[in-house]
Amino acid sequence: MVCDVMITPSIPLSEGGNSSSGNFITFTIDLLRATTTLTNAFHNGLNSAIVLANYDEAIKEYSKLNSTSNATSKPHQIVLGGEVNNLKAPNFNFGNSPLEYSKENIEGKKLVFTSSNGAKAINLNNESKSRFVLSYLNLQANIEYLLEISKEDDNILLICSGSNGKVSLEDMYLAGAMIFELGKVKPIKLSDNSKLALSLFTANFLIEKDFILGLEHSRKLIKQGFEEDIFFSLKKDYTDTLIKIENNILSKIS
């Protein structure tokens, strides 16, 4: 089994990675904050989510769903969530803070969601056998499920959402955490990108909070008042919730 890491969707896979052959099991990462937010939303009872790559597409999809929904359905069962430049998008019900997606706010509802980076990564076209949402909140749950469903000829691809086309070290850090934990229980071959992610994790996991708080994206979130989102995003194995991606539709694995 080979593990490769896509550092950002705009950067090709590392030379020598074998993710272009065989079957892929793919995990999409946006630690701060989209995959953390989506994980918490499903943990708190979200029914399903449609993830769109940008604001205009999300508004269009939301309008279409509302116009075709059953007139007898309960009000506000379809909600809009996401951000533009980290802030709640205009006319949306929720932003991209995981703390907004409480059981009271989200249980039983259908979410139309977009974000600056994670949503685009979720919408990437690839030929993966299976695709999942990965956050620190459900890291161990994803590893256990991977071990359950994977075959010997399967390969792993970790997609880091990045930040506006640039490398996002917090996403690479989580990719490294996945590789580290998986390597404890299963032999895996690492591409150069995977080795880089693993090195980043092992060099910083003892100072994890300080390392993440010091990163560029974290500093911006703190300045905008979202420091608690960062702390929440680091709650390792907070839930056993598993989320599969089919095209751009997300659902919980029961």
User: Which residues, including other chains, have CB under 8 Å from residue 24's CB and lie 6 or more apart?
Assistant: 126, 127, 128, 129, 154, 155, 156, 157
Domain ranges of the chain: 2-31+121-248, 36-119
36-119: CATH number = 3.90.1560.10
**Superfamily of segment(s) 2-31+121-248:** ComB-like (3.90.1560.10)
Q: List, for residues 15-49, the tens digit of each pLDDT value.
A: 444 444 448 999 999 999 999 999 999 999 999 99
What's the CA angle centered on 42, arms 158 and 249, to 5 degrees? 60
What's the pLDDT score for residue 131? 95
* Comparison of pLDDT for 160 and 11, the residue scoring more: 160
What's the pLDDT score for residue 73? 54
The alpha helices in the chain, defined as continuous H runs, are 34-43, 55-68, 103-106, 118-122, 139-149, 169-183, 192-204, 208-213, 216-223, 227-233
Residue 86 has pLDDT above 50, yes or no: yes
Q: Give the mean pLDDT of the chain.
A: 92
pTM of the full structure: 0.94
Do domains 2-31+121-248 and 36-119 share one topology? The answer is: yes
Confidence of residue 13 (pLDDT cuts 50, 70, 90): low
Question: What does the pLDDT average to over 80-85?
Answer: 96
Q: List, for residues 218-254, the tens digit of each pLDDT value.
A: 999 999 999 999 999 999 999 999 999 999 999 999 7
